[in-house]
Structure formats: structure tokens, C-alpha cells
Homo-oligomer: A and B are copies of this chain.
């Protein structure tokens, strides 16, 4: 089987351009297994499979899209099956929720300790979402909040727009 190496719109992830996505998937699953083991959390078959499906690509995926695929593999699969797995993955910080889309995306850098919340750039054309490592924004937001006497517990930062590859076209 021959794979085209041409970069297409759909291949964009962050500023990295085309990439071998199999590596992303393997990395994510390896990190997940390691973290869960370290924490004594059980990455069951279902949970692992849901994580894998979320990592199908770099676009946020809805719970019912996950369910659609899962149903082909497990006749039993129902909404709670997916939502429970998502709850687990979210709690472990392996997955983030994209609020603006009621969808979910894999975290490429799950924190060994904390369950961080991400900062995302979401392309309105190709649909890919990139998580920024940026911490300055967080700090600035914290400062602005504390100026109002407000203490932040969690936050959502999502920017929609056009990624590099989708701008000219």
C-alpha cells in the first residue's frame, strides 16, 4: 500500500505540518497507560478504546460520534458507556473538553500531577485543534481575576480562526 506524502489541509496539526499520526496515537496511549498505572487508576478496555478513538485525528470529537464507532465493536455500547469513559479520561487529564463544540480532544501532554486545563486554537476550516503550552495567559487571567478579588479554580480558553494551512486557500 502506498501512502501519499503530500501535505493536505486535513493533515495540519499546529505549526508542525504533516506528520505520522500513528506516532501521536501510540504516544498518547503509552502516556495514558503509564500515568494510570502510576496512579492506580484502571485504564480498562473501554476507556482505552475511547481514548484511542478520540485520538483518531486532531479534531474534537463528539460523544455520539465516539458511540457510533464503539457500537460496531460492542453491541452493548450506549451513551453512558461513552460518557463514563469520558468522565474518567477527563478526570485523569488525558482528555480535554472543547466547550465551544461540546466535544472532546486528547491531551498531548497530560500532566503527571495535575489535571490542567488547556488553551486551544481551533481551525474553523479544517477543524483541527491545537493545545498551546502558553502559561502567560493563565497568569494574566489570574492577575486580572485577583484584581477583582476572584480566585480561579478552572478555566476555558478557546480561540477559533484559521490555521496556517487554511488561510490562503
Contacts and interface: CB of A to CB of B under 8 A. Distances in A.
Interface residues on A, range: 35 or more
Contact of A164 (B148, B157, B158): B148
A7 interface: no
Task: Say how many copies of this protein the assembly contains.
Answer: 2
A141 B157 contact: yes
Interface in A32-47: none
A154 B145 contact: no
Contacts of A161: 145, 150-154
Given A121-B150, A150-B164, A159 B145 contact: yes
A141 B154 contact: no
Nearest to A130: B148
A144 B141 CA distance: 15
A112 interface: no
A77 interface: no
A91 interface: no
A153 B144 contact: no
Interface stretch (A19-27, A48-56, A67-75, A132-140): A132-140
B145 A153 contact: no
Given A140-B140, A149-B163, 13 more contacts: A14-B148, A15-B148, A15-B149, A119-B144, A121-B148, A134-B140, A149-B164, A151-B161, A152-B159, A152-B160, A152-B161, A154-B159, A156-B159
